[in-house]
Amino acid sequence: MKTHVIVQDLSKLTTFADYKELADKIPADFDIALLLCNAGVSQFGGFMQAYEKTGDEDQINVNSLHPVYLNKALLPRMLQRSQKSGIINVSSVAHLTPVPGLALYDASKVFINYFTQAVAFELKADGTNIDMMEYSPSLVYTKLSLLRGGFFAISAEEAACQSLDDLGNTTYTNGPLKHAVRAWMMRTMIYYFQASIFKSQHKANKDFFTFQ
Ligand SMILES: NC(=O)c1ccc[n+]([C@@H]2O[C@H](COP(=O)([O-])OP(=O)(O)OC[C@H]3O[C@@H](n4cnc5c(N)ncnc54)[C@H](OP(=O)(O)O)[C@@H]3O)[C@@H](O)[C@H]2O)c1
């Protein structure tokens, strides 16, 4: 397998021209069969407490804008391939319900959900050779989640294997059964318990920032 590495701080790229320039650095004979838009950042904290920090733009640029422009910059090349190609945009079950303390993160993932589903439909309806899929995991042990345990958490390897298995069969997946169950719970039960979850989450945020 050939590898071509480009190191880039995606929070600094804010226009399509930036991404076009990045895409143009990839040699013309380099075959792009799979695009995985995985980069993401999450800043926890009540909107007004976190307002003073610099993370707002990062969350919007990295989580939402980068998949849009990277998809747009690389799609023309991928459309020229005669073999099947795949695009995976990583969202999160966070798109299923708003959570106090994660307002921007949740909103950025709703964006990916709508964006990916609409473009996946367009690519299919136009009869292209591209399978586009949104991967919407629940908790994964990574430096973003800082998790070390929990019934619903899975390893990054499991997340990667399951999402790749689903590519070509669906335009949306939560990955393994555990995460599909978790997503189902969030979709259904949350409407009954949303008010009380919001109240306790909001209080927890306030306590956290007072303690800091
Ligand atoms: N972990 C979870 O529980 C969970 C749940 C649902 C969805 N997700 C989503 O899964 C995706 C992967 O996250 P993860 O959990 O694997 O977290 P992670 O270990 O922190 O990985 C995030 C990746 O994004 C890259 N990144 C962050 N900011 C960047 C920037 N400004 N420019 C370039 N690259 C940047 C990081 O690069 P560096 O390594 O160089 O920092 C890292 O490779 C994200 O989209 C996240 O929202 C995660």
CA of 85 to the centre of ligand 1 (A): 23
Model pLDDT for residues 178-210, shown as the tens digit of each residue: 999 999 988 887 767 777 777 777 777 777 666
Q: Give nearest CA residue, ligand 1 atom 13.
A: 40
DSSP 53-83: SSHHHHIIIIIIIHHHHHHHHHHHHHHT-SS
CA of 192 to the centre of ligand 1 (A): 31
Q: Which domains does the chain have, with CATH numbers?
A: 10-211 (3.40.50.720)
CA of 87 to the centre of ligand 1 (A): 17
Residue among 8, 38, 113, 134 whose CB has most ligand 1 atoms within 8 A, to mutate: 38
Model pLDDT for residues 105-127, shown as the tens digit of each residue: 999 999 999 999 999 999 999 99
The residues lining ligand 1, judged by C-beta closer than 6 Å to any ligand atom, are 9-11, 38-41, 62, 90, 92, 137, 139-140, 142-145
Residue type present at position 210:
T
Task: Calculate the average pLDDT of the chain.
Answer: 90
Q: Give nearest CA residue, ligand 1 atom 35.
A: 39
CA distances from 33 to 1, 166, 211 (A): 12, 16, 48
**The model scores a pTM over 0.85:** yes
